[in-house]
A and B are shown apart, each in its own frame.
Chain A
Amino acid sequence: MAKKRSTLGTRWNWLKSITALAVSVFFFAPFYIILSLSFKPRTDRTSYWLFPKEPTFDAYAYALDRGDIGLAIINTLIVTFFSVILVLIFGAIAAYPLSRHKTRLNTLILSCFVGVMMVPPLSVLVPIYKELVTLGGINTYWGIILLTVTYSLPMSVFMFTNFIKSIPKELDEAALIDGCSQFMIFPRIILPNMAPVISSVLILTSVSIWNDYSFQLYVLQKPKLKTITLAISSFFTEGNSNMPAAAAATVLSVLPVAIIYLCLQKYFIQGTMDSAIK
């Protein structure tokens, strides 16, 4: 009886494995197509499904050279790096009072921040553009960074406050009794405990800023400041017939995130879960 059940179990597991494999093939197909296309010579007219018999790196050379994908990656790195640092600092220090002291002002601030998460950027981008023109922030790193930070902060404040709530308040009180000033509690007591949530916020924010399109489209209009999404979109819209190069540019833009994702998968999944907890 026991044996019969286990063979049924194995058979069931094989069925699951095959289903999972089929689903994965379906999900990976679009990526396979741009990969195979990116290794084809420009003149290759074979089906997108066929991998080239003699793969070449011509398309990559073209994308890096004429498409300025290298420059775009550097620009995106600059914007992402500085924005993420500011999001982490501003988000963490703001989250401490908001999670510890439920004053009327704090509750109001928190609900305003969380409300921003649902604002579609495009609904306010026309006035933001106008404001940045007045401030001289168009085509500047500080313009795009401050704007990006503002719209990335709500998520980080949300995740940080949820996490700090789970740290026992008794720790704060003990520190106060021991003569710690209330402003020192955060760096001395809370911050050392925040490593897991910091890694989650770091990962989620980096990916979303790396992938941003709407803010960058409005603020960065000089070709020299083009970020990845802007560079890719000009590849596809400026009447370019070099499809392998467009595919290569796309692969190059996805590659950094994909590699980091494959190495730190555990943290990406943890991050997604953290962001979902109410």
Chain B
Amino acid sequence: MKKEKQSMRRFIGSDPRALTLLTLPAVILFIMFVVVPIISGINISFTNWNGYSQNYSYVGFDNYRKMVTDPQVWTSFRNTLIYGFGSTLIQTILGLALAMLLSSKFFFRSGARTVIYLPAMVAQLIIGYIWYFIVTYERGALNDIILLFGGDKVDWMSKGFRAVMIITFINSIAYCGKTMIIFLAGLQSIPAMYREAASIDGANAWQSFRHITVPQLLPAFTTSLVLNIIGGLKMFGLVVSMTNGGPGYASHSLSSLINTLYFANQQAGYSAAVGMFSFVFIVFVNVLLNKYLQKKERQYNG
């Protein structure tokens, strides 16, 4: 008995494995709100539960079979891809351009940085409500400008695909400040002598950008890609506030579709099945992305 106590004390006192106990609060929360919900989500996805009733029955693969042929799911899936990869493309180009512009010192540089980064502080949902006043049909700020130049008012969000494009654009504008900061940090870490050496060797601005700046920025590219793709694929608040998935179901992301299926349509079982699909898809994209980028980085770093 005494011996056991002693060895216990030695374990706590000096065995590094005992330190893992410090992760316990985090691990318990992780089990409660990540592991259990995933398992229970899989379970719910095989039922016809409506979201509140006590009674439901197992329906086998019905929900998944329905999903494969459901045009709403496919449209949301396509939109999610556009939101994710489209935003990533625009934000990377815009963020890099802004970072290049704002990396050297000149009048109003820090003012511009402040303003560009400001929307990144604001919730997606609220960004959507702010832009509502710009793209709305009646008295919208954008339509006012068109009227001023003698054009006709446009109902911007009335066509599904156009709405998807506009949401992607707004998402990119609002959050490219973060990408810009990541690239600014990357640009600052490039030693000035690299570019000086290149210009002595007779490289022009484009060559120096292509062969020095871009490879040196690769870690920054990696991070901004991963962050933007994850962010875009999670798209929820902005869709809810700009179109609530409309017109019809045309601009839903997978996340906002899950929400509508659950709250409005009371198809909790089906909603859970779509949830599992989006979960597996995003994990898949990220594993692929990480593998690819690690390989690429190794190539550049020789």
Contact = CB atoms under 8 A, between A and B. Distances in A.
Interface of A: 13-14, 16-17, 19-21, 23-24, 27-31, 33-34, 37, 45, 47-49, 89-91, 93-94, 96-98, 100-101, 103, 105-106, 109, 112-113, 115-128, 130-131, 146-147, 149-151, 153, 157, 181-183, 186, 207, 210-214, 217, 228-229, 232-233, 236-237, 243, 246-247, 250, 253-254, 257-258, 261-262, 265, 268-269, 272-273, 276-278
Interface residue tally on B, bucketed by range: 35 or more
What is the predominant secondary structure among interface residues of chain B facing chain A? helix
Contact of B130 (A31, A243, A272): A31
Given A109-B27, A127-B272, A262 B241 contact: no
B108 A17 contact: yes
Contact of A236 (B51, B129, B233): B129
Interface centre among A33, A115, A150 (most CB of B within 10 A): A150
B119 A97 contact: no
Given A97-B23, A127-B37, A182-B19, 13 more contacts: A14-B106, A17-B107, A24-B111, A37-B133, A48-B141, A89-B25, A97-B22, A103-B20, A120-B282, A121-B255, A131-B37, A243-B133, A277-B223
Contacts of B233: 120
B101 A16 contact: yes
Given A98-B23, A183-B12, A232-B126, A123 B278 contact: yes
A246 B37 contact: no
A45 to B, nearest CB: 8
A120 B276 CA distance: 10
A151 B272 CA distance: 19
Interface stretch (B158-166, B177-185, B194-202): B177-185
B125 interface: yes
B30 A112 contact: yes
B275 A33 contact: no
A120 B255 contact: yes
Contacts of B268: 126, 130
Given A105-B17, A276-B223, A153 B26 contact: yes
Contacts, number: 289
A34 B41 CA distance: 40
Interface string B119-142: 101111110011111100001110
B181 A126 contact: no
Contacts of A113: 26, 30
11 contacts: A16-B101, A20-B111, A120-B234, A121-B255, A122-B259, A147-B33, A183-B12, A211-B123, A213-B123, A258-B118, A261-B121
A246 B219 CA distance: 42
Give the 6 A-B residue pairs with the shortest CB-CB distance, closest first. Answer: A211-B123, A97-B19, A122-B255, A20-B112, A127-B41, A123-B275
Contact of A273 (B34, B40, B185): B185
B130 A30 contact: yes
A33 B30 CA distance: 42
Contact of A278 (B104, B125, B223): B223
A22 B232 CA distance: 27
A211 B268 CA distance: 26
A19 B182 CA distance: 21
A99 B27 CA distance: 16
B116 interface: yes
A239 to B, nearest CB: 14
A214 B259 CA distance: 9
A94 B278 contact: no
Contact of B141 (A47, A116, A131, A272): A47
Nearest to B229: A118
Contacts of B107: 13-14, 17
Given A30-B134, A103-B20, A233-B241, A94 B26 contact: yes
A32 to B, nearest CB: 10
A90 B255 contact: no
Contacts of A149: 29
A153 B123 contact: no
Contact of A269 (B16, B30, B144, B181): B181
Given A122-B258, A131-B36, A48 B275 contact: no
A272 B255 contact: no
Contacts of B279: 119-120, 123-124
Interface centre among B25, B26, B181, B224 (most CB of A within 10 A): B26
